[in-house]
Structure 1
Amino acid sequence: MSTITSHEESIFPDRRRLFTALCQDFQDRLTEIIRKRRKASLALAGGTTPGPLYESLSNVPVAWEKVTLTVTDERWVSPEDPASNEYLVRDLLMRRRAAGATFVPLKTNHAKASGGAGIAEKRITPIMPFDICLIGMGPDGHIASLIPGADGYAAAADPATTKKLAGIHAPGAAGSPERMTLTIPGLLSSRRIVVLFMGQDKMNVFNEAKAGEGSSPLKELLAQKKVPVHAFWAP
């Protein structure tokens, strides 16, 4: 993989313009990827922030039957639970024109996420590297479910781990304390990473991570120079 010289930042005056631009970016890139490789794979963020993007993408004219989707992390709840990231993607994105996309779930029947990590990794390995990996960022700087201080965090955030997925237990985390998450090497098993976040507080965390400071695992992604990272931000 070639070395890149820098990452990108796109700053918008409002969220409407951000989502319009980001939707067009995804459409253009997916169209080109499918033209070149006849298939595409996306790892998608959960949470509330990307909802407008998914709703817009659901109606773009892309060959969705050639696109495979998964999520960057999963709350350990039923896929029918609205707290599930799989539920979010199926509900907002996999409809209208995008109804023909394929989804690869992280959730297994294991009681704990750590018990299902091996099976889930085997599921997603065939679609790696992801053509685009979309991540958000929490107020504490966490990305995917790499939550500083959580049980299992240190191993999952270790750039040297050979595992692409890991179980995390984060007491107090919204939706479910039990989580499955892509590790740092799992996130970096991508051709491009997009970071989507809003508000000045998160921009402060982003700038801190960019400087190699603070506790956010995002700094590991911004420090490396093999996978391009493109940040999209609005107030």
Structure 2
Amino acid sequence: MLETYPNTHALAEAAAHGVEVCLAQGLKTRGRASLVGTGGRSPGEVYDRLRDARIDWARVIVTLSDERCVAPDAPEANVRLLRERLMQGPVARAHVLPLWPEPEAAALKALLPFDAVLLGMGEDGHIASLIPGDPDLALGLDPAGAALTRPVPAGLGKPPVARITLSLSALLQSRAVFLLVAGEAKREVIARAQAGADLPVRSILAQDQVPVRVLWAPSH
């Protein structure tokens, strides 16, 4: 399950190509496509490379796996990274559905199934903002949960601000998931999760509802 790349540049190239294929297929079969982006350090170079994808971005809607409850231009905002690294050039024609303020459930539901989902992972095994220590984590990780999003209280993650996250049930309503992992510490986390450790990332690795590609490279 673990795809190993010699460096993060090669990983980004592979991830961007995989996402492009998924979006192109969505455009071909449905006439539109949806992409779930993520924040943190993992996706920046993937976004850079996706800007060269030869697809009709005007028919693509982009949202996020999670967001900090901050202003959209705040340094901590995932949507800011999205706009600065992806939504440039031809990609600026794509539509963005921010997660904060929280969108109408119908607007998010209209994107399902997502054609491609990009996820990072923390060293605590969290994905999106499904973070260990959240008292309602079990609800967010319920694969049959009805809610597409979950609120996350302040005090968890870095920075420890309140957040909103897609639930596992939402993430599983996708055609493909790309999990971006860099460094030996995170490779060990993946190994622990695959061996049965009770970590949020295990919920996406252990299911067979949606294909998951785990792309790993050494850190810079």
Structure 1 range deviating more: 20-29 or 96-105:
20-29
Task: Tell me by how many angstroms 1:155 deviates.
Answer: 1.9
Q: Which amino acid aligns with 2:184?
A: Q
Conserved 8 A contact 2:131-2:156: no
Deviations 1:58-78 (A, max 9, x none): 232211011110000000001
Unpaired segments ≥5 residues, structure 1? 1-7, 109-115
Does structure 2 retain, via aligned residues, the 8 Å contact 1:130–1:191? yes
Corresponding residue for residue 98 of structure 1: 91
Whole-angstrom CA distance in 2 between matches of 1:63 and 1:46: 24
1:194 correspondence with 2:178 = yes
How far is the alpha carbon of 1:24 from its aligned partner? Answer: 2.0
**2:32 aligned with 1:39, yes or no?**
yes
Number of the residue aligned with 2:42 = 49
Partner of 2:200: 217
1:142 pairs, out of 126, 132, 138, with: 126
Aligned to 1:231: 214
1:217–1:75 distance in 2 versus 1, CA, 3 Å: same
Please report how far the alpha carbon of residue 102 of structure 1 lies from its aligned counterpart in structure 2 after TM superposition: 0.5
- What does 1:145-164 align with in structure 2 at a 5 Å threshold? 145-164=129-148
Q: Deviations over 1:196-234 (max 9, x none)?
A: 110111111111111222x32111112211111111110
1:169 to 145, 153, 159: 153
Equivalent residue of 1:155, what SS?
A: helix
Q: CA deviation at 1:120?
A: 4.2
The question of whether the paired residues in 2 share the 8 Å contact of 1:58 and 1:96 is answered with yes
Provide the rounded CA distance (Å) in 2 between the counterparts of 1:102 and 1:175. Answer: 27
Aligned partners of 1:160 and 1:32: how far apart in 2? 27
Q: 2: distance between equivalents of 1:172 and 1:165?
A: 17
Q: By how many angstroms is 1:33 displaced?
A: 2.6
Counterpart AA for 2:35: L
Picking from 28, 51, 58, the partner of 1:58 is 51
CA–CA distance in structure 1, aligned partners of residues 19 and 211 of structure 2: 15
In structure 2, the CA distance between the partners of 1:179 and 1:60, relative to structure 1 (3 Å rule), is same
Task: Give the gaps of 5 or more residues in structure 2.
Answer: none
Q: Which amino acid aligns with 1:96?
A: G
Whole-angstrom distance in 2 between the partners of 1:191 and 1:126? 15
Give TM-score scaled by structure 1 length.
0.87
Q: Which amino acid aligns with 1:91?
A: E
The Cα RMSD (Å) is: 1.6
Match of 1:111?
none
- Cα-to-partner distance string for 1:31-53 (whole Å, 9 max, x where unaligned): 23312222110111111211011
Percent of aligned pairs sharing the same letter: 36
Q: How many residues align?
A: 218
